[in-house]
Structure 1
């Protein structure tokens, strides 16, 4: 007669790898906007860019694929052109947009981190200081 194993004395067993991954994926909404975009839609964009590069690498050669992606070589100069044009457009539009978005996000985060007080609070304090009696005498020259 076999009996079921007794549960561990410390409570329920720790969650497995699959449960931890599922919980982390559910927590992606707590990320900043750029981090959330990178995990949700950015993966699709970057995967598409990578797939285009790999496809072109096999079809037109790796050096040509790099040159078309960076705009050094025109897609008309390589054969087959049908795969070089999307790669060229990706290198011209998508890659700079992603880099610009990342730079803009980093700059915005830095500005917000150094933005200590609201403008209305600063203006209220300046008005209060201007209305205080007994302001120091002017430094005009008169004896």
Structure 2
């Protein structure tokens, strides 16, 4: 009888392949959790990065006050950044929160 050569095991997945597989496996989750992770997390992380950037440039107190509408963006040193922050605080943040709540209430 002929001897069989041993078969080498398949190579281990690298980090990029494991992240890709984890991301693709999200579709097995229930719909609200899937939606929050797949759609909500990227937008929320962009908001956090933008808020941190504004906090470093404008100052933390001014950033918070412009975001919630206490201080006018025109009263800051960086007008363009402050106006975008004000628009995010008045338009995008409430729309995002309303969308998440509306989706979860319907589920």
More helix by share: 2
CA RMSD of aligned residues (A): 2.8
* Alignment match of 1:54 (pick from 40, 52, 55): 52
* Alignment match of 1:100 (pick from 92, 98, 101): 98
Q: CA deviation at 1:81?
A: 0.8
Q: Does 1:43 align with 2:38?
A: no
For residue 87 of structure 1, what is the aligned residue in structure 2?
85
C-alpha contact 1:60 1:78 (8 A) present in aligned 2: yes
Question: Following the alignment from structure 2 to structure 1, what is the Cα–Cα distance between the partners of residues 50 and 59?
Answer: 12
Q: CA deviation at 1:64?
A: 0.4
- CA offset digits 1:40-86 (Å, max 9, x no partner): 34333223222221122122110000111111111111111110111
The structure having more radius of gyration, on CA atoms, is 1
Q: Structure 1: 5+ residue runs without aligned partners? A: 110-143
Higher relative contact order (CA 8 A, sep 6+): 2
Question: Following the alignment from structure 2 to structure 1, what is the Cα–Cα distance between the partners of residues 54 and 47?
Answer: 11
Work out the number of aligned pairs and report it: 100
Show structure 1 runs of 4+ deviating over 6 A: none
TM-score, length of structure 1 as denominator length: 0.55
Q: Structure 2: 5+ residue runs without aligned partners? A: 1-5
The residue matched to 1:89 in structure 2 has which SS?
helix
C-alpha contact 1:52 1:86 (8 A) present in aligned 2: no
